[in-house]
Structure 1
């Protein structure tokens, strides 16, 4: 009985100190002053094995509340020994919460974060390299382009493949070039030369050049750059048809031939030295001054004199009219019936309407034996023999066919002078053509405005020639001043 009570008393004391716990389990309560204790089932006594020192303030002497507080500071391991029910409590160090797994978990998370960051950096670097080096190569245009696909094709039945014989590449290229050349020759044969938009400039002018045929189909149909406006010593260059037409304009008496007349003429005058071809290093501007009454009070004198060439014609006067017509003259167009003396340094330009005119020129500059043609003419004239020029008879036919289009028997002096300027000059300005402001046709030096001298000759068509001149101005080939 005594042992049983002791055990019950010990168990109750244990419950008070640490709370109830099954036998064989760890107890969390023990006095802080105990180093260990044993309980023997036989004797029912509790023996102290050792003591580490005086009991702490919260020991057994402190009561139940103090004892429960001390239970959290020590661990008591209880074991039952055999059938005797011996209870042994052994003091040991309090178990600590394991921190190693937490540290390892933190390290793993840190390593994973570093690995993800490294992968992101590699991806960014790869994208940057791709954009910098490979993307421009992909976006660059191909070196060779495929020819355009034609939509005009025919569907043909499928044929069995044939065995092709390949020629050497050089031979194929040579054959293709030869075929292409034959096609071009056939296409351009017997066809007029068309204007090329990107051709080089024909003259050195800042604006357009007369000899450039672009921009005007009307002008290109009429202008022939191959025409030679001046007569040279060799008559072989004159077309027989044009020569025959010219000889029929005004009949001349005598049995002389054109070759004989030209041979005598070029013994008196020099061959033509005027360069009529355009040059890219030169801008030759010409003023063609007519004799119309619209020059009066025009004030064009200084503007006319500013040109490289100043072309006048027939009985044109400058003295007393300098303000309106200028005072410079470089070329003076005339024929025997309108001849006047020409100042030194001025080129006399003969318009021969008949063979007799060539004979007169030789006589007027030498012996003076020819006094008449179909009317009384000037026997002698003053002119620089080295500067005398003669218009080619074939040029008359060219102007009559291409420009005046057979209106009238032959072109007028004024029309011939303008077309001559188109072939000699790079830029052409025209003054003194047409009627005056009141519609009168007369010369600017004539006092009778109603004389109508321009309309008295029945061999010219003044109205049609006026239309041609106005159209030249519209096409931008001349500048027409009123």
Structure 2
């Protein structure tokens, strides 16, 4: 419980401060200078420094949002029946199994959440059986020359627990994701002062891995305008919560350091029209 409390406090604080099928289907939208390297864009953190790329293929994937929309959804058993289950950052399952399920195949984690995830090694180990961890972050934190603070922490963990599957996105993969965002929106991410969200990286990874994707608990781009007074929490596991729509609006209009959550939802809607992505709880119309 102490761990979960520290998680939601840290995640909210950091958020306020910062404020398909197959990845190959996106390749036609990306210039030749930034080819879609697929799963070769995810490299294992290995004490011996070996270049071991992620190898994973799934038929049906459940991508579980951290949104408060999951509270009361009652779809835990349905989620656990998927071939692979994707979760994000430090979103817990314990105590929420009825709504979000129990299995975790892949957990995609932001560099800002690494201290929270690694704070208690025992918690990581208890929840890591059969789980692949994929970490993303800017080059200054993930560099491998001894100066990347986050990468160093991950390497230390990999040395201590060599059975864990810990991967990072390559610099080229991060750049590819930036280019996908620009191609879909016509806006340069860096020039607009924004950061891609963990959800964006998770969606692209799921499209690299999965034949079809069921997305749970993610609202569409118009949800907050339709439900102006929604008090659904940003994260389902927060007790003193910030409203999801309030957080989305703040980030969408932040001049610097914001995630463009609403814009990203519009991108997902475009992808869902072309590929095997279905949104549930709430459902989307395309």
Q: Place the TM-score, normalised by the shorter chain, in its bin.
A: 0.5 to 0.7
Q: Tell me how many residue pairs correspond in the alignment.
A: 221
Deviations 1:289-347 (A, max 9, x none): 12011111112212211111111111111111111110000111113431322422211
* Equivalence for 2:38: 228
User: What's the RMSD between the two structures over aligned residues?
Assistant: 3.4
**SS state at 1:468 partner:** helix
Q: How does 1:427-442 map to 2 (within 5 A)?
A: 427-434=212-219, 438=230, 440=232, 442=234
Asked if the contact 2:23–2:205 (Cα under 8 Å) also holds between the matched residues in 1, the reply is no
* Equivalence for 2:236: 444
Query: Take 1:456 and 1:269, find their aligned partners in 2: how far apart are those partners?
Result: 41
* Equivalence for 1:247: none
Query: Take 1:429 and 1:397, find their aligned partners in 2: how far apart are those partners?
Result: 26
Query: Take 2:152 and 2:270, find their aligned partners in 1: how far apart are those partners?
Result: 37
Call closer, same or farther: CA 1:225–1:326 in 2, change over 3 Å.
farther
Q: Which runs of 5+ in 1 are unaligned?
A: 1-207, 234-261, 368-381
Query: Take 1:209 and 1:465, find their aligned partners in 2: how far apart are those partners?
Result: 17
Among 160, 163, 179, the residue aligned to 1:384: 163
* Equivalence for 2:3: none
Asked if the contact 1:304–1:310 (Cα under 8 Å) also holds between the matched residues in 2, the reply is yes
Among 48, 70, 78, the residue aligned to 1:303: 78
Give me the TM-score of the superposition, normalised by structure 2.
Answer: 0.65
Query: Take 2:156 and 2:129, find their aligned partners in 1: how far apart are those partners?
Result: 19
Query: Take 1:461 and 1:419, find their aligned partners in 2: how far apart are those partners?
Result: 16
* Equivalence for 2:9: none
* Equivalence for 1:352: 137
Q: How does 1:126-137 map to 2 (within 5 A)?
A: none
Q: Structure 1 residues 355-364 or 389-398, which shifts more? A: 355-364
Matched, 1:475 2:267: no
Which structure has more relative contact order (CA 8 Å, sep 6+)? It is 2
Give me the TM-score of the superposition, normalised by structure 1.
Answer: 0.40
Query: Take 1:348 and 1:358, find their aligned partners in 2: how far apart are those partners?
Result: 13
Query: Take 1:466 and 1:449, find their aligned partners in 2: how far apart are those partners?
Result: 22
Q: How does 1:106-121 map to 2 (within 5 A)?
A: none
After TM superposition, give the deviation of residue 228 of structure 1 in Å.
3.1
Higher helix share: 2
Asked if the contact 1:441–1:454 (Cα under 8 Å) also holds between the matched residues in 2, the reply is no
Q: How does 1:460-471 map to 2 (within 5 A)?
A: 460-471=259-270
**SS state at 1:358 partner:** helix
Q: Which runs of 5+ in 2 are unaligned?
A: 1-19, 118-123, 252-256
Among 274, 285, 295, the residue aligned to 2:54: 274
